[in-house]
Each structure stands twice: as C-alpha cells, then as structure tokens.
Amino acid sequence: MLGEKPDEALPLYNAVVARARAEHRYLDGAAPDTVDGRFDMIATLLAVVMLRLEAEPAGG
C-alpha cells in the first residue's frame, strides 16, 4: 500500500472488476444491477482475493 507503486496492483484490480461485472451475476440475482449492487460485488470479490493473498506464504 504505502510506498508501493500503485501500478503493481492494477492488473489484479482490473481482473477482479472484470469478474465482478460478469453479466450472469446480475441476471441470476446474486446482486442487483445497480451502482450499489455492482459496488457490493466488486467489494465482495476484492475481499475474497485479499483473504486468499493473506493466506499465501510470503513470496508465494
């Protein structure tokens, strides 16, 4: 976060956002197709990714 280049995380963030925008998530009712619903989906998927990264061994 602090002191890191912001560009390093951008590809990961873009991948998460792309998956969060997948049409099936909104057609199947997993989230409402609204600004709030899309924000919630991005936040949820980012939380899952962060938990996964925290569980990885250092340097993994």
Query: Could you give the number of structural domains in the chain?
Result: 1
Among positive and negative, which fits the CA dihedral 39, 43, 46, 52? negative
Do the domain assignments include residue 3? Answer: no
Look at residue 3 and tell me whether its pLDDT is greater than 90. Answer: no
Look at residue 48 and tell me whether its pLDDT is greater than 70. Answer: yes
Q: Residue 21: which of 4, 13, 6 has the closest Cα? A: 13
Do the domain assignments include residue 45? Answer: yes
Do the domain assignments include residue 12? Answer: no
Supply the pLDDT for residue 38. 95
- The pTM of the full predicted model, rounded to 2 decimals, is 0.77
Question: Using N-to-C axis directions, what is the helix angle for 10-20 and 35-55, rounded to 10°?
Answer: 130
User: Which strand (E) or helix (H) includes residue 23?
Assistant: helix 23-27
Q: For residue range 4-43, what is the model confidence (pLDDT) as tens digits? A: 666 888 999 999 999 999 999 999 888 999 999 999 999 9
Look at residue 1 and tell me whether its pLDDT is greater than 60. Answer: no
Domain residues for 46?
31-60
